[in-house]
Amino acid sequence: MKKHAVLITVLVSLVITLFSVSAIFLEFYKLNKQQYIDHMFTKYSVIIQIYKENQQRKSSELMTEANLAVYKLFVIKEKDDAQKIVKDSDVLKREGFKSVNSTIMLGAQGLYKQNTVSQLNATMLEHTRTIYFYIQTPSGAVLIKDEELKPYSYLNIMYTYSTIFTIITLSFILILQKLRPLIRLRKKIALFGAGNMKVSFKTKNCDEIGLVSNEIESAREKIESLLESRTLFLRNIMHELKTPIAKGTIATQMLDSQKQRDRFTSIFSRLESLVTEFAMIEEVTSIDSKSEFMECRLLDVIDGAIDMAMIESDNVGVDISGDVKINVNYRLYTTAIKNMIDNAMKYSPDGHINILIINNELCFESNGEKLAHPLQYYIEPFTKDNPSKNSFGLGLYLVDSILKAHNQVLAYEYDKGVNRFIFA
């Protein structure tokens, strides 16, 4: 979910925007339609006025129809047609009101005005895209067809809404298109972080994301160049060191004094061991993929480490099932286990180590005193408690580096006189 937070935010914004625009247009449509209907409905007052004037003048029905025709109004005379239209029509608006007619009367007291109040109902109907006015009075009802007024049309609003909807949608699609290079860039950075130094970030885009990609590509090239220079330097210097060490070892055998011969042999042997450990560290730190990883039986890896340590198998207790398998770089992982065995042989009073599985984690147990410093102190290069021991202080540093290359960590705990190192 968090990996696609920007994409999800854009999509949510699009949905909210379109929903808001749709809601606004729906309310506008309702309001606009009601205003249009209210405006049309005012025409009923013209009809009432014509009927009132004709009643006062006692005009003929023909004259009334003629006056109505001036306003494009025509009476539906067929009762059956009128009833069918009233029944099948949609009611747009209905309103009841009072009509007051004044009449001059002659009585005993002379002339006086008599007001007659009538209750009227006016209904505006729509039938087959035609507007009708249905006027109901105490004396009867009349249905009048209006040929001038047209029903409300939503096409203009729909056209505007569709245009805005399309513009917003296309705008968000363009935003998503602009974000696609960012998604590709994230995947490439993940590959680069996983150790693929050949991945290219170069792009022809000149926008902000393109500029960032090209800057990362420039940084990648510099890092690759530095790593190549470092690797070449280390390999050359180790090669150059091995030659004088080999010559020195040979020259040592020509010394007459056995004491001096043993001393120089020890010195050159330690130098050769140091160069070998440096080579192993360089190999661990330069590993860039898991292509050399393979599935192995853990027992086979431990046996290889025991052979590499050149110690008697009786000094190592192994309590691990033969079914346990691990996916590792065999040579490096074997070296890590070998270093743990060497460490126990040097610092354990009884020179014995037990290798077992606890909570699905590989553990190395040996008797001895608790470490004087936290584990972090010992996994730094060239650190050790006892300088007199035949060690350069690179053993646990190399183990930690190998475990990190396998996405593991080195842990330590002390329990009742037992030192326990854990590959977690």
pLDDT, tens digit (0-9, with 9 covering 90-100), for 183-236: 788 788 887 777 677 788 888 877 777 888 888 888 888 887 877 777 777 667
Q: pLDDT > 90: what percent of the chain? A: 9
Q: For position 56, what pLDDT does the model report?
A: 63
Cβ–Cβ under 8 Å, residues 169 and 180: no
- Ordered by start, the domain boundaries in the chain are 2-39+155-180, 44-146, 209-285, 294-423
Residue 112: pLDDT band (50, 70, 90) is: very low
Give the residue, 85 or 193, on which the prediction is more confident.
85
- Closest residue by Cα to residue 364 from 388, 389, 395: 395
Q: What's the confidence (pLDDT) of residue 388? A: 45
How many angstroms separate the Cα of 272 from the Cα of each of 18, 198, 200, 265? 73, 34, 39, 10
Q: Who contacts 217 (Cβ-Cβ below 8 Å, separation ≥6)? A: 200, 201, 202
Superfamily name with CATH number, domain 294-423? Histidine kinase-like ATPase, C-terminal domain (3.30.565.10)
pLDDT tens-place string over residues 342-359: 888 888 888 889 999 888
Tell me what pLDDT residue 68 has: 84
pLDDT, position 11:
83
Residue 132 has pLDDT above 90, yes or no: yes
Retrieve residue 216's tokens: 């990362």
In the predicted model, is pLDDT for residue 246 greater than 80?
A: no
**What mean pLDDT is reported for the chain?**
79
